[in-house]
Amino acid sequence: RLKPTKIGIISRFDNEESLNVAYNTVKYLESKGIAYKLDKGIHNALNNRLNANLMDDIQDISHIISIGGDGTVLRASKLIEGNEIPIICVDMGTVGFLTEFGKEDVYSAIDSVLNGNYTIEKRTKLSGLINYDFNDKNAGKKELKEMQKFISDALNEVVITTNNPAKIMDFEVYINGILAENVRADGIIISTPNGSTAYSLSAGGPIIEPTVDAFIIVPICPFKLSSRPLVVDGNSEIKLKIMKKSAMVVIDGNKEALVSKGDEITFRKSNSYTYFVKGSNFYNKVKKLSLME
Amino acid sequence: RLKPTKIGIISRFDNEESLNVAYNTVKYLESKGIAYKLDKGIHNALNNRLNANLMDDIQDISHIISIGGDGTVLRASKLIEGNEIPIICVDMGTVGFLTEFGKEDVYSAIDSVLNGNYTIEKRTKLSGLINYDFNDKNAGKKELKEMQKFISDALNEVVITTNNPAKIMDFEVYINGILAENVRADGIIISTPNGSTAYSLSAGGPIIEPTVDAFIIVPICPFKLSSRPLVVDGNSEIKLKIMKKSAMVVIDGNKEALVSKGDEITFRKSNSYTYFVKGSNFYNKVKKLSLME
Amino acid sequence: RLKPTKIGIISRFDNEESLNVAYNTVKYLESKGIAYKLDKGIHNALNNRLNANLMDDIQDISHIISIGGDGTVLRASKLIEGNEIPIICVDMGTVGFLTEFGKEDVYSAIDSVLNGNYTIEKRTKLSGLINYDFNDKNAGKKELKEMQKFISDALNEVVITTNNPAKIMDFEVYINGILAENVRADGIIISTPNGSTAYSLSAGGPIIEPTVDAFIIVPICPFKLSSRPLVVDGNSEIKLKIMKKSAMVVIDGNKEALVSKGDEITFRKSNSYTYFVKGSNFYNKVKKLSLME
Amino acid sequence: RLKPTKIGIISRFDNEESLNVAYNTVKYLESKGIAYKLDKGIHNALNNRLNANLMDDIQDISHIISIGGDGTVLRASKLIEGNEIPIICVDMGTVGFLTEFGKEDVYSAIDSVLNGNYTIEKRTKLSGLINYDFNDKNAGKKELKEMQKFISDALNEVVITTNNPAKIMDFEVYINGILAENVRADGIIISTPNGSTAYSLSAGGPIIEPTVDAFIIVPICPFKLSSRPLVVDGNSEIKLKIMKKSAMVVIDGNKEALVSKGDEITFRKSNSYTYFVKGSNFYNKVKKLSLME
């Protein structure tokens, strides 16, 4: 396993506890003589306590430490997009599905990485295009039409949802070019296996082990009573066509675009992955899920 | 049964078919010598074909004919709020749960009413107050605080939902003053039995016969996996407290208010009812539900 | 409130802890000078420690103390069938939905009853007839046909289920004589509000407050995807017709009868009720439900 | 594609229509000069109309034609266990998920196969061992202990279910040796993707495309409200341990074994597959599902 050369630290900075864990982590890395850089938010927040380098470019970063909840991991995953940089995900006590280490495990996790004695889990991401075709060689090069764009890769899920809470939406769902379903619903979720324990689960989707090569399509409050979550092959091309009204495209919890009638959003497996330093066991996390309030 | 003295007609007016049914209904009433008035929308739409009276006041109306789908019925129900005026609900072919007669049955339905040979179904409505107490004698008389108001009675349901599609909400649900549940969800539905076959059903609620004296509380995409629809006694006082962020209050599909952190919305059975002239059987409609696309 | 004259005790007797609670309860009643009798099982089990009277007839019993879980309460409810005898339900630490008092509350519960300072909750039961009609004056008097009988009242639910685990069943469900549903499923549950937190909940039914006047019909693993739990008016007559194969009739967890193709089972609200001395709050029990493993 | 040398015919023989389709199929094969043999049941049933060979051994069979519903396909799949013989699945009009051709398509399906102009879909099966270990080299060779056996491969699903309808069961579920879940339920389903549209769907499982390399674990009426269907990697070893009582092992609808407290049933992907001649599209079948009564 690759040993770290320079560690990037990304952290929540809106509470004292995260700041302290980040600070102590830095001090631990310094004691081990490991170079590090801090992401902008935590860099500013620790400015008065540390004279640290800003991580303004991730090209020379070998590993990331993410301190916070699943939201921080999703930010870290977005930050390293396309680069094979393992993330050490540390949570702050709240139940996280993406985090692999408790804050009490942070030093031992760092030690394992320093010793090269760790396992990496490669997680699939979902890539999306609005009004493009993945097979179009000019995709992204053409001048931008009214709404024609690449959207960020999703580690958990993409949600296409009404931005008018009182009104139902209509979608056509195509799998590999074949009309699979007409969906009337408040919205629709396309989830990775990784995202199966997040929003997809609340909407009625199954729990899927991260290694299964598949995506989940889950309608939100579907009108049709016979509607069921659908697990499609990970090599499928999934296309949603907006049949009425306008909708929000929400990626891993962030609003990314507004689409409207006639727009098509096409998804397939991303060429890049997110790499996690493996800590706790999947089923231990599933057990915690059932106790979450 | 009360015979009609003056019939009010409310109708969709955005398609030719509804206009024709409304026009033919008027002609039929004229042939029978029954007085009628037209609701504003259909009055305007038929202005060039009919010299009809505008229904600007419902005080002298004895019966309403609603021509259209469930949306039109919900409008009619709102229009007669507080008055015991039976509604003859005619649909335009699409499946409706509130409509009781097909467009081909409109003359025979009118005949039954003219003969006094009909049954009335009394439907419970849900009454809501924002930041008031039902026991507060000054409710509605006090000057308006920032957000303190009566909201319209709901024939189907009240939905309290995030107006920020990417973000989950937190509610406290009190039944008769006792904290029954902490709900983290996209939103929450308080439904009448009547509304049990509408939005509540899409969110996972049960089907409830209209005569059951109860309300249904259904969270939308709840975070807690053990969350279940809850059917409470129809004489309960249901109070929702908004614990975070702001939310939309949507009544029978119409946005009515915006509430925010700390606001409380209290519900109980309305003092007034909606009265339907009975046509088709409840279970025939339930059977159609399963075939809806 | 009625003060107790003679208390009947029914208890689990298959573990030391229940025996001890029963023994201590007896000693407490003796210290207060209250007469009591013991149900057969616990009478035998405490035979060597107590010289107690056997409860061979419930006619002179004024109150029952039930010591154990929900199963013991169901037995107590069956025992007093038709008599208005309040039950003080004490559990042994496991989560019970019918029990109202923890074992640590047993003395204070008894005190409240002795003082007449208690509330009674009246719970609806479900009455069933196989191949009879409730309106048949001779029901129960006629000679028994092949399968024609009264079945015990259910406090929680009646389950009609295949007794051949590999094979699906077909039912017709009639509500007040109208065919409401054709059900293909492993079985079907008819539950009281009281039973809504028991087996019905596992099969997908809603939680219903005990005071709602309604019954729940829930298919078990229905073939039809649009199938939903149905809440019918508590004054309805519910009739199930077995269309294929044979089935078991299970009442509150006890197999009561075997029915087969063509048999009809008719249900309505029982004329008698079960009376509980009220202890804990319904919603506190609902909260515990979500933590049950 | 392999052209057929000798075709085996397996068919329902309990209705006239299937007999006629089987008879006409034979006549069509004869007209084309293709050799065929008949499975025992249909051989007997057509004995008076045909002088056909009995298929007593499948070693020389190149292709199978299955005439009937999903049950017949499951029988055919069991018959060819371990052999790479494509099955042409013809249904009799009822909706089947395994059948690929309507009875009106039988000649054109045969023609495609004769021309070598067809596609084969390879479907995963589930292999199970009772009280053996897949890594035990002597598995199956040792003398039989009380309950120690190979069980038939499942094309759809294995159900472990209480054989006492009134009583709940307890299982421990291990994935690759790790305790993943404690399940209290009426039973548990281990389904292939192929079986995702069969019993698993009725119990709340998702629809999974046949090419996804995964198995589904679905509890039947689980006690724990937070219980959800679980989709595990197709290369997992799934072990169920029976913690209480006895249970039936039902494979593709057939009772195969009785297991009891302490018994362990281990599953993994079978080394052999079932091969279907591809006809209709998966999503067309999914659409039909929603209309099934």
pLDDT of A224-240, one tens digit each? Answer: 999 999 999 999 999 99
Convert the pLDDT of each residue in D170-185 to its tens digit: 999 999 999 999 999 9
Specify the pLDDT at position D280: 81
C178 in Cβ contact with B188 (< 8 Å): no
Closest-CA distance, B179 to chain D, in angstroms, reads 20
Give B13's contacts (C-beta < 8 A, 6+ positions apart): B19, B22, B41, B42, B44, B45, B46
Convert the pLDDT of each residue in C219-272 to its tens digit: 999 999 999 999 999 999 999 999 998 999 999 999 999 999 999 999 999 999
Long-range own/partner contacts, residues A202-205 (CB < 8 A, 24 or more apart): A202/B185, A202/B186, A202/B221, A202/B222, A202/B223, A203/B221, A204/A229, A204/B204, A205/A229, A205/D206
Which of B18-27, C109-118, C282-291 is the least confident region?
A: C282-291
C229 in Cβ contact with C181 (< 8 Å): no
The dihedral through the CA atoms of A193, A197, A202, A207 has a sign that is positive
The answer to whether D220 contacts chain C (CB < 8 Å) is yes
Residue A246, exposed/middle/buried by CB under 10 A (0-12, 13-18, 19+)? Answer: middle
Q: Which residue of D has its CA nearest to A287?
A: D181
Interface test with A, best of D226, D231, D282 (most A CBs within 10 A): D231
Which of A138-142, C272-276, D123-127 is the least confident region?
A: A138-142
Closest-CA distance, D205 to chain A, in angstroms, reads 7
Considering only residues B246 and B138, tell me which one the structure prediction assigns the higher pLDDT: B246
Q: Phi-psi category of C127—alpha, beta or left, where left has phi over 0 and alpha has psi -120 to 50?
A: beta
Interface test with A, best of B221, B224, B254 (most A CBs within 10 A): B221
Specify the pLDDT at position A146: 55
DSSP letter for each residue of chain A:
-PPPSEEEEEE--SSHHHHHHHHHHHHHHHHTT-EEEE-HHHHHHTTTT----B----TT--EEEEESSHHHHHHHHHHTTTS--EEEEE--SS--SS--B-GGGHHHHHHHHHTT---EEEEEEEEEEES--TT-TTTTTSPP-TT-EEEEEESSEEEEEESSTT--EEEEEEETTEEEEEEEESEEEEE-SGGGGTHHHHTTPPEE-TTS-EEEEEEES-SSTT---EEEETT--EEEEE-SSEEEEEETTEEEEEEETT-EEEEEEEEEEEEEE--S-HHHHHHHHTT--
Q: Which residue of D has its CA nearest to C203?
A: D221
**CB-CB under 8 Å, D224 with A290:** yes
Residues of B in contact with D225 (CB under 8 A): 225-228
Q: Which of B211, B227, B290 sits opposite C224 (nearest CB)?
A: B290
The stretch A212-228 carries a mean pLDDT of 96
The answer to whether B236 contacts chain C (CB < 8 Å) is yes
The answer to whether D179 contacts chain C (CB < 8 Å) is no
The model's pTM is 0.93
Q: Which of D199, D248, D293 sits opposite C224 (nearest CB)?
A: D293
Specify the pLDDT at position D135: 74
pLDDT at A143 over 70: no
Say which DSSP state B215 is in: E
pLDDT at A97 over 90: no
The catalytic residue positions of B are: 70
In angstroms, the CA D108 to CA D25 distance is 11
Convert the pLDDT of each residue in C59-108 to its tens digit: 889 999 999 988 899 999 988 877 899 999 998 877 678 888 988 899 99
The stretch B264-278 carries a mean pLDDT of 94
Residues of A in contact with D181 (CB under 8 A): 283, 286-287
Residues of A in contact with D193 (CB under 8 A): 231
**CB-CB under 8 Å, D212 with A213:** yes
Distances (CA, A) of C127 to B160, C276, C288: 39, 19, 29
**CB-CB under 8 Å, A182 with B165:** no
Confidence at B20, pLDDT banded by 50, 70, 90? very high
The answer to whether C292 contacts chain A (CB < 8 Å) is no
**CB-CB under 8 Å, D201 with C290:** no
In angstroms, the CA D240 to CA D186 distance is 14
Residues of B in contact with A159 (CB under 8 A): 165-166
Pairing of strands B63-67, B86-90: parallel
Residues of C in contact with B230 (CB under 8 A): 206-209, 286
- ipTM exceeding cut-off 0.90 for this assembly: yes
In angstroms, the CA C135 to CA C138 distance is 9
Could you count the other beta carbons within 10 Å of the beta carbon of residue C111?
13
How far from each other are the two terminal CA atoms of chain A, in whole angstroms? 38
Specify the pLDDT at position B284: 86
Convert the pLDDT of each residue in C151-181 to its tens digit: 889 999 999 998 877 789 999 999 999 999 9
Closest-CA distance, D200 to chain B, in angstroms, reads 19
Considering only residues B27 and A166, tell me which one the structure prediction assigns the higher pLDDT: B27
Confidence at B143, pLDDT banded by 50, 70, 90? very low
